[in-house]
Amino acid sequence: MENENEIVALIQLLGDNDNEVFKHVQDRLLSYGPEIIPTLECSWHVEINPITHDRLQEIIQRLQFNVVEQKLSVWLLSEEKDLTEALFIVSFYFQYDLILESLQKQITKLRQSIWLELNNNQTVLEQIQIFNHVFYGFHGFKALQSVDDLNDFSINKAIEQKKGSGIVIGMLYQILAQDLNLPVYGVTLQHHYVLAFCKHVILSFDEEVNLERTVMFYINPINKGSIFSRNEIKEYLENSGIDTKPEYFTPASNKHIAIEMLKTIIEITVQNSDTQTTQDMYELLKKCLVKS
């Protein structure tokens, strides 16, 4: 790498007690961008003084977060706003060496296992029952009602361990269903992520006149894909003392699903007093809302 000698010299200065020196060194290292992360990580694993170690870790995290921000900006500007990519970006924050293509291959394998059991002669209810049988029964996926471990928001961990937060498993269910031409969309019900099976594919969330009218029935990803109706959502809201809003019954766009996921993570990081992750998630959330 070009300027590697300078980078090594800058790392040695990270332990300087003069804050002005540290600030200059930090800014200089950050200016190199994510390409220097491997070099920084090598130094981080070497025995160094605690101050240098902590400052080096902070710089690595800032560089990694800058990459996450860049990926999210590109996603927000994309026309499709692919849901797999949204899950990947959030997971990438927690596991920097995650590769999108590897994740896509894992999802393709899951899709193929469900596709083998479906045919055009089945009713939509039969198709969902078969989907549930393969997804929850054969593969053993489990959506967690409540979580406090941020790993439960990583799609790669969810696929490996066959469990994850309700919203991550629900999003995976939605991705697989749509890949199989089943018009399943997320619904951002407060404190619950549910799914809606619609009468047809929604081509534009902005142009559809009445999105709720497209819904045939709802699917609960936490309860192994059980099917329920609008009345049950209404009853849940009434019993919980939650004011009724159209969005609690209406299919949501991928962007709004991503926003809901970030809000859910923020709730947990606030509870866990994880200040840095909370700040980072707020930054990503603001970026989504500004571009809404």
Domain boundary among 76, 102, 123: 76
Which residues neighbour 169 within 8 Å (Cβ) at sequence distance 6 or greater?
141, 142, 143, 144, 158, 163, 221, 222
For residue range 215-260, list pLDDT tens digits in order. 999 999 999 999 999 999 999 999 999 999 999 999 999 999 999 9
115 and 254 share one domain: yes
Each residue's pLDDT tens digit, 66-110: 999 999 999 999 999 999 999 999 999 998 889 999 999 999 999
Do 117 and 189 sit in the same domain of this protein?
yes
Last residue of a domain, one of 30, 58, 76: 76
Tokens of 157: 């961990």
pTM of the model: 0.92
CA-based end-to-end distance of the chain: 39
**What range defines the domain where residue 274 resides?**
78-290
